[in-house]
Structure 1
Amino acid sequence: MYPARIIPELARQGWQAHGLALEGSWVAESFVEAGITPLTVPSRGRALWRVGRILAYLKVHEIRVLHCHKSSDLRLGALLATLRPELRLFFTDHMGVTRPKKDPYHRWAYGRLTRLFSISETTRARNLRAFPLRPERIRRLYLGIDPSPYVAGLAADERRALRAELGVPEGAVAIGLPGRITPGKGQAVWVEALARLVEARPTLAWHGVLIGGLGAGEGSNEVFVAKLRERVAALGLTERVSFAGFRGDLPRCLAALDIVCVPSRNEAFGLTVIEAMAAARPVVGADSGAIPELLDATAGRLVAPEDPEAWAEALGELAADTAMQHRLGQAGRARVLAAFTLETHIRALVGEYAGEPAA
């Protein structure tokens, strides 16, 4: 959903964006919600048959830049760039590939790229090994967010009501974990850490909040959700852990929490990390993937992703010290404003679109 997120900022900086999407897809709908009517095709295969129509669309609208965000879309992008060599073709790898892509097809497709963007140094290192491109054609470009919805504080009454809605008792430290509820996101280790926190600090008042869809339609693993609920009950944490479900108001929810956890084992970037930091929340994150690039000791704590004892220790330290929570939260928000805003991201992106040398 990245393209629709950046369209308003592209427009604000003077660029006119167009979209190409599958008919009836969420991506097509997101383009419309962002204010543009996309060109649509019934399938990726049919798009190849309609390449003449797409080329005509590019010519009529004087489009000079193509930007793909899925490797399955690059086949069409590379074909268009082959047929119209003046096009500048970009591809963002949002995951970080793990298998080499140096066969004849990939050499042809990726050879048409003006630039490949990696969303972290971690994924760039993987991409350098995987893609048939010279290092200078693979650039790290961090993602960014609009920090304005991530308020550093809520009105007292609003915060109290929202915390109650999330299941947080009065006076408890709210320890949240937002994100898709799937094995790779680390919720299982987090639950084990909370059980150890009870043992280590029996007098500490806290409440855990899982924020994320509970069904497959909302991106979560239903079997894993059920097992997680069973484990919470087995550990005697039913009254101390809430399953809040999907929330469309995540910025407000983050501001209602006291500590935000991101225990994902292999984040390609860590959008939740900078969202929590933008909300001035201290973060406890996994010391793996790209998270250490975003988070340091000035804004939170890094912990081994598979070590519940270490997680319990870090959570206990933060939960018992409100002054530290505030200090780390303010430092995190300042870091986001300095390095991870959507405006900063778009300025770097359009500089590449325009062919400007990297700073």
Structure 2
Amino acid sequence: MTSDFSEIEVVATNFNWRQSGGTTAVVQLVPEQAKTLKIAALGFDLPERVPRMRWRDIPKLFRRPAHRPFRIYHCRRNNEMMVGLLLRDVLRAPLRLIFNSAGQRRHKPLTRWMLRRMDAVITTSERSGSFLEVPHTVVPHGTDFERFHPARGNDDDYAASGLPGKYAVGCTGRIRHQKGTDLFVDAMLQLLPRYPDWTAIITGRTTSDNLGFERELKSKIADAGLTQRIHFLGDVADISVWYRRFTLFVAPSRQEGFGLTPLEAMASQTAVVTSDAGSFPSMIKAGINGAIVPAGDLDALVAAIEPYFRAPLLAKEQGRAALEFVHANFSLSAEARGIRAVYDRLWTEGQKPLGRQNGAETQLAASQDPVSVRQEEIC
């Protein structure tokens, strides 16, 4: 918890009870941002390492911070935008509102209305930005290299898991159709009988509305006699160790916003096979650090995974390339610098909401270099 709220310059919100990509972004990014500015997170499901403000401190938002003309309220969900607009426009709190958009679809009318009233909009990729009708700044997500790193000891070896086989192929994230869990299972039903050294690991939370989906998958696995070869571990306490134990990681999503899991796997020196959903295409150099297939295409997924099953050394080689690539292109520190540039611009220029702006908005290049910019207006 923060001790002196008057010093807080930025509030990052997380109004979601369930773990999600937005939650992960806050949990990873806020501690990095706290190295150079006074920031606190407000919301649910936040670990102790994240600087936080208390709900009872909300009335303090109506007082200006000690060293800034206003606080920045940085949100990632519609309900968080609604609260920000209420605080700023109805209750007159001295705030400027920033929305972080990862969605890759045309937004609904209410969302578009709220976006026009933001003081700035950040998007995680050029692709996400193409769906926006307001000026925006592109700042790709980064990866926490302190948490996600190559194996360092025996506990990071797959053998330490006690599960069968010599090599593990993993699929993480919530168990649901959107994430392509069924595609991963169907691919494993085809491949594992031919490659006895491999075991499939599935981790992630199953929400109540997807329990039937999970039961169907487990029933299909049992009918194929592969219960000992395909394991559902549930919501594991520390996913980072599993990335290090995987020889290959698969992200078969049908739909994604940005999609952090391939970057976390690559930072753990693990080769990846992904669909072309979300921002995955920006992460994959086919044949160098992994492979990419059309979303929803089971045959293509099987064909992309099989070379790694046939030659595990290929996965090891591409895992090393993946580590080098993610460190060069998707660091958490670069994301923090890119977002800080947006904050500083607001503090310096005191911009009006986007719907009342004229002129162009600076966009950060996808290289994540906050110094390399280009001018463009997305209308």
> TM tier, shorter chain?
0.7 to 0.9
Q: Which has the higher contact order (CA 8 A, sep 6+)?
A: 2
Q: Residue type matched to 1:267 in 2? A: E
Q: Secondary structure at the match of 1:207?
A: strand
> Residues 104 and 278 of structure 2 are in contact (CA less than 8 Å); yes or no, is this contact kept in structure 1?
no
Cα offset, 1:236, TM superposition = 2.7
Q: Secondary structure at the match of 1:195?
A: helix
Match among 33, 52, 65 for residue 10 of structure 1: 33
In the alignment, which residue of structure 2 is the partner of 1:249?
238
Cα offset, 1:80, TM superposition = 4.0
| In 2, Cα distance between equivalents of 1:192 and 1:299 | 24
Alignment of 1:36-185 (within 5 A): 36-40=52-56, 53=59, 55-59=61-65, 62=68, 63-82=70-89, 87-101=95-109, 106-107=112-113, 109-128=114-133, 133=134, 137-156=135-154, 158-164=156-162, 167-169=163-165, 171=166, 173-185=167-179
> Residues 118 and 139 of structure 1 are in contact (CA less than 8 Å); yes or no, is this contact kept in structure 2?
yes
| In 2, Cα distance between equivalents of 1:154 and 1:319 | 24
Q: Residue type matched to 1:163 in 2? A: S
Q: In 2 relative to 1, CA 155–88 (structure 1 residues): closer, same or farther, beyond 3 Å?
A: same
> Residues 258 and 325 of structure 1 are in contact (CA less than 8 Å); yes or no, is this contact kept in structure 2?
yes
In the alignment, which residue of structure 2 is the partner of 1:288?
277
| In 1, Cα distance between equivalents of 2:248 and 2:84 | 43
Cα offset, 1:337, TM superposition = 0.9
User: Which aligned segments of 4 or more residues in structure 1 are displaced greater than 6 angstroms?
Assistant: none
> Residues 78 and 110 of structure 1 are in contact (CA less than 8 Å); yes or no, is this contact kept in structure 2?
no
Cα offset, 1:229, TM superposition = 0.3
| In 1, Cα distance between equivalents of 2:144 and 2:84 | 29
Match among 178, 190, 206 for residue 198 of structure 2: 206
> Residues 30 and 41 of structure 2 are in contact (CA less than 8 Å); yes or no, is this contact kept in structure 1?
no
**Unmatched 5+ residue regions in structure 2?**
1-22, 349-361, 365-372, 374-379
Deviations 1:26-53 (A, max 9, x none): 3xxx276523333448xxxxx8xxxxx3
> Residues 94 and 268 of structure 1 are in contact (CA less than 8 Å); yes or no, is this contact kept in structure 2?
yes
Cα offset, 1:245, TM superposition = 1.8
Q: Are 1:231 and 2:239 counterparts?
A: no
In the alignment, which residue of structure 1 is the partner of 2:9?
none
| In 1, Cα distance between equivalents of 2:79 and 2:315 | 43
Q: Residue type matched to 2:140 in 1? A: Y
Structure with greater proportional helix content: 1
Q: Residue type matched to 2:188 in 1? A: L
| In 1, Cα distance between equivalents of 2:282 and 2:33 | 26
Deviations 1:130-179 (A, max 9, x none): xxx2xxx2222211121122221243465154332xx232x3x2111111
Q: Secondary structure at the match of 1:18?
A: strand
> Residues 279 and 333 of structure 1 are in contact (CA less than 8 Å); yes or no, is this contact kept in structure 2?
yes
Q: Are 1:305 and 2:305 counterparts?
A: no
In the alignment, which residue of structure 2 is the partner of 1:260?
249
| In 2, Cα distance between equivalents of 1:4 and 1:205 | 36
In the alignment, which residue of structure 2 is the partner of 1:44?
none
Q: Secondary structure at the match of 1:127?
A: coil
Q: Secondary structure at the match of 2:100?
A: strand
What TM-score, normalized by structure 2, do the two folds share? 0.77
What TM-score, normalized by structure 1, do the two folds share? 0.81
Q: In 2 relative to 1, CA 324–158 (structure 1 residues): closer, same or farther, beyond 3 Å?
A: closer
| In 2, Cα distance between equivalents of 1:6 and 1:69 | 13
> Residues 40 and 51 of structure 2 are in contact (CA less than 8 Å); yes or no, is this contact kept in structure 1?
no
Q: In 2 relative to 1, CA 35–221 (structure 1 residues): closer, same or farther, beyond 3 Å?
A: same
Deviations 1:176-224 (A, max 9, x none): 111111111111111111222246xx255211111123454xxx82111
> Residues 88 and 353 of structure 1 are in contact (CA less than 8 Å); yes or no, is this contact kept in structure 2?
no
Worse overlay, 236-245 or 92-101: 92-101
Q: In 2 relative to 1, CA 236–39 (structure 1 residues): closer, same or farther, beyond 3 Å?
A: same
Q: How many residues align?
A: 323
Q: Secondary structure at the match of 1:239?
A: coil
In the alignment, which residue of structure 2 is the partner of 1:35?
51
> Residues 158 and 168 of structure 2 are in contact (CA less than 8 Å); yes or no, is this contact kept in structure 1?
no
Identity of aligned residues (%): 24
